[in-house]
Amino acid sequence: MLMFIFGLVLAAVTLLMFGTGLSSDRVVCYPLRNPGDSKIMNLLDEYLTQVSSLKDFSIKTSLMNCYQNESIYNVLNLRSQFDVDTISNKFDISNFLDQMYSHLNGILDEDFEILSPENLRTLEDLKDFDPSINFDQFQDELKQNFTNLSLNEISKKLEELVVNIQDQGDLDDVKTEVQLSILHINTYDEKLLQPMKELANKVIDISKQLDTDLKMNSSSFSEAIDKLLNEIQEAQTVLRKEGADILQKVAKEFGNMVLNQVDSFLDRVTYVIKEEFGQCGPMNAAINATLTAACDKIILPWNGFWLSLLLSLVLFIPTIIVSVKLASLYQKYKQFGGQYVETRGGKRGKKKGKKSKYYEDRPQNMGGEVVSREHATGSHPPDTRYSDMAPKFDTSNNNHLTYY
What pLDDT digit, counting tens, does each position of 280-295 carry?
Answer: 888 889 988 988 888 8
Compute the distance between CA of residue 185 and CA of residue 152 in angstroms, rounded to an integer.
Answer: 8
The DSSP line for 315-373 is HHHHHHHHHHHHHHHHHHHHTTTT---B--GGGTTT--SPPEEEEE---TTT----EEE
Nearest to 67 by CA among 277, 271, 279, 297: 279
Nearest to 17 by CA among 390, 302, 277: 302
**pLDDT tens-digit profile of 157-176?**
888 877 777 766 667 777 78
pLDDT digits (tens, 9 = 90+) for 244-270: 788 888 888 888 888 888 888 888 888
Residue type, 231: E
Residue 145 has pLDDT above 70, yes or no: no
What pLDDT, on the 0 to 100 scale, is given for residue 124? 80
Mean pLDDT, residues 68-75: 86
CB 63 within 8 A of CB 52: no
- pTM over the 0.95 mark: no
Question: What b/e sequence results for 54-63 when a residue is b if at least 16 CB atoms lie within 10 Å of its CB, and e otherwise?
Answer: eeebbbbbbb
Round the CA-based radius of gyration of the chain to a whole number and report it: 64
Q: Which class for 218: exposed (0-12), middle (13-18), buried (19 or more C-beta within 10 A)?
A: middle
Nearest partner of 339 among 385, 394, 381, judged by Cα: 394
Residues 6+ apart with CB under 8 A from 32: 63, 287, 291
